[in-house]
Amino acid sequence: MSGLREFFNEYFNFRHIAREKRKYRQQDERAEALPDDYRHVYRHIQQYLWGNSWRFSGGDGMELLPLFADLLELFETAAAEGKRVLAVTGEDVAAFCDELLQNTHTSMGKHREALNRDIRNKLGKRNGA
């Protein structure tokens, strides 16, 4: 039951949501300041990740915000060092995105773990599991 309570506390935490939206807007302004090629790739990666996050999360996509922050920081640093954007992502940008998604610990995964743990704790002893 605590897993469900955690889910609702996190999902309906309006202050947290407002704070995350504010951070996202700030990140978006930073993204606009990237060089053209970096900005172009960043926007396409965003679209790809938003469109494919359902495969890994099942949530509202909020777990992607830290990923975008890390990606933006990587792009800002690489641009400042004069690197080409494809030297950072590789030629297969979709594979780069898939790797980012696979390495993202999602809220859905946390909820799955909590569900299974709660059931094991309650029923495991009685059912010989």
What are the boundaries of each domain within the chain? 2-123
Residues contacting residue 40 through CB under 8 Å, at least 6 positions apart: none
**Which option is the CATH number for 2-123: 1.10.10.10, 1.20.1050.10, 1.10.10.60, 1.10.1900.10?**
1.10.1900.10
pTM for the predicted model, two decimal places: 0.69
Q: 60-103, pLDDT tens digit by residue?
A: 567 788 889 999 999 999 999 999 999 999 999 999 998 888 77
Give how far Cα 11 sits from Cα of 26, 27, 66, 93, 116, Å.
22, 22, 17, 31, 20
Predicted confidence band of residue 57 (pLDDT cuts 50, 70, 90): low
Give how far Cα 22 sits from Cα of 19, 27, 28, 49, 128, Å.
5, 9, 10, 20, 49
Determine the longest span between alpha carbons in the chain, in angstroms. 62
Predicted confidence band of residue 115 (pLDDT cuts 50, 70, 90): confident
d(CA 72, CA 81): 14
Q: 38-48, pLDDT tens digit by residue?
A: 999 999 999 99
